Structure 1
Amino acid sequence: MKKTVFESICNDLEGILETENIKKLPKTYELIGDILIIYIPEELSRWKKEIGNAYLKNFKRVKTVLRKGYISGEYRKPNFEYLAGNGTETVHIENKIKFKLDLSKVMFSSGNIKERQRMSRISKKDEKVIDMFAGIGYFSIPIAYHSHAYVTAIEKNPQAFYYLKDNIKLNRVENRVKVINMDCREFSGRGDRVIMGYIQKTNEFLEKAFEIVKKGGIIHYHQTVVEKLYPDAIYSEINTVNKNYEIISMRKVKKFSPGVWHIVADIKAI
């Protein structure tokens, strides 16, 4: 019987790791383009390079293996450790969209795939959409490509902005997406739909979102919230800046950390 990939990895590491440590090897992983991201527990750090090479050898279409780290700072920069392979730039394809990025510079969350798919078809044709935190085009490009809306994509981070421009060309939506490299709080304009694809401090930008959305328009408000405070904490944040609204829907996107959820609320300005 043909061995599974994981069984082959375990075989390759026999003689390097003791049996009890082989049991601690990661069976799950994240694949972004042709880059594999794995979690290695601290007790296996001594053999991290050998582990990385074993995963690289057995995942035939993978060019690089990274050790899962953390996302930090205003620009949500990934802190992954290089283990094996060649290069951290890749092209990730999902929902017919090509995302080019460098995982040493900008983040990509596979856990948000359902939300990106939902947003890709939520707009009406020729609708005016403002993406306040465009990143590399996570929402802007799928909306322009699938919904044929007009998108103003605002991104402050120069490294993310570089890939945003590249991805617009790569997906041939230049006539549908306008890019602006600036802090979204400095933007002046109005839209039918406003996307707030940021978390943890999104409430600091909510007043601006209400300022730029047209009456009757929709704000897609992403935020993190402690589970026991959901959804009351979200209503409280919105009420602090504006009371003329209606929640169309609110959902959990994914688990952010123990006891904390990443959520999105669809808010109608009235």
Structure 2
Amino acid sequence: MTMNKCIRVPLKDAEKIRIQLAGSGRLDPHRKIKLIDTHQRLLEIPVTEDIEGFESYMQENAEFYNKWQSLEDILKNDISSNELEKLPSGWHIIGDIVIVTIDPTIDHLKVMIAKALLQMYPSCNTVVRDLGISGQFRLPKREILIGNNTETINKEHGCLFKLDVTKVMFSKGNLHEKKLMSKIGTHETIVDMFAGIGYFTIPMAVHAKPEKLIAIEINPQSYGYLKENIILNKVEHIVEALNGDCAELTPKGVADRVLMGYVNTTHHYLDSGIAALKPKGGIIHYHETTPESMVFSRPVERIKTAALKAGRRVEILDCRKIKKYSPGIWHVVVDARIS
């Protein structure tokens, strides 16, 4: 951290705020929480960004959990300068597991890198190497470098997600979209056509509290964790989970809102998504991976074509980019009202 940002909170509120910040990924895990005023009983909580409702401060004399602050610092005396340049620049922390991509040309350093990462993150106990994804179910290809526990519980935005990182995907890159979805749908009936382990289902059920949420997932592994996460987050009274192909299981004419949070072949399911909406209409949140040159035009056109085929009208409410999916390809979302 080059800018040691923090917020100051009363001691009595600190634990509640710390849990909220950790759940939303905004607590800086590298720095310690410090008592700065024994009279007023104020704590400084280290954060990674400005927090709404709090004034930000630059933390002086920050105390770090570990001596080293980068992978390069730990390994610079043990490897060559050429190898140093090829070290991974980023990784994901999911629960108590580190997931890292390592350049194949420094394969011989993989265990050394894994040990260094555990030195940086003492609360973690397993390091897994990411080798990409494959197949219809987007199954992760991963190699365990250190540790043997690949099942974990990830806390995010006040929700709990249990998963095995070698069996199902968990993207931390669309946290903003999850937060956005968690604020809408109160008192509605929602269909999540590609629910996974509950990426959108759980935040919506926990925070927005819809009347009913039907979550459909075809992958048996993901479906198993979806059911566990529904129980873990105490939303059994809201969520109904279905295991199978959403082209066959998506109900017709029942939804105020439909989530289509898959990519690559999502457009093949637009007919089912539109048919799921109530006769009076509703809103679709349609995800797609799109070339830069047609970043919003193609998904918008596909929605309009599918709606016209169903004899319905379309109003485009919003278009937004989620993240770069691959070179020249964007993961985008289009919100459309269908009537």
TM-score of the two chains, using structure 1 as the length reference:
0.93
AA aligned to 1:208 is S
Deviation of 1:13 after TM superposition, in Å, equals 6.3
Q: Secondary structure at the match of 2:173?
A: helix
AA aligned to 1:201 is T
- Deviations for 1:151-201, whole angstroms, at most 9, x for unmatched residues? 011111110010001001100001010111121111233211100010010
Distance 2:116 2:156 in 1: 27
The answer as to whether partners of 1:5 and 1:59 remain within 8 angstroms in 2 is no
Where does residue 143 of structure 1 map in the other structure? 204
- Deviations for 1:102-159, whole angstroms, at most 9, x for unmatched residues? 01111000001100010011112x2100011111111111111111101011111110
- Aligned equivalent of 1:251, options 320, 323, 329: 320
Where does residue 329 of structure 2 map in the other structure? 260
The answer as to whether partners of 1:71 and 1:79 remain within 8 angstroms in 2 is yes
Q: 1:232 and 2:301 equivalent?
A: no
Distance 1:12 1:256 in 2: 31
AA aligned to 1:259 is G
Q: 1:46 and 2:108 equivalent?
A: yes
Distance 2:324 2:205 in 1: 28
- Aligned equivalent of 1:161, options 214, 217, 223: 223
What stretches of structure 1 of length at least 5 have no aligned partner? Answer: none
- Aligned equivalent of 1:112, options 174, 178, 202: 174
TM-score of the two chains, using structure 2 as the length reference:
0.75
CA RMSD for the aligned pairs?
Answer: 1.7
The structure with higher relative contact order (CA 8 Å, sep 6+) is 1
Where does residue 65 of structure 1 map in the other structure? 127
Q: Percent identity, aligned pairs only?
A: 42
Distance 1:158 1:42 in 2: 32
- Aligned equivalent of 2:235, options 166, 170, 173: 173
- Aligned equivalent of 2:190, options 108, 129, 133: 129
Distance 2:82 2:146 in 1: 23
Deviation of 1:75 after TM superposition, in Å, equals 1.0
Matched residue pairs, number?
Answer: 267
Distance 2:225 2:76 in 1: 37
Deviation of 1:52 after TM superposition, in Å, equals 1.4
- Aligned equivalent of 1:217, options 276, 282, 290: 282
What stretches of structure 2 of length at least 5 have no aligned partner? Answer: 1-60
| Larger Rg belongs to | 2
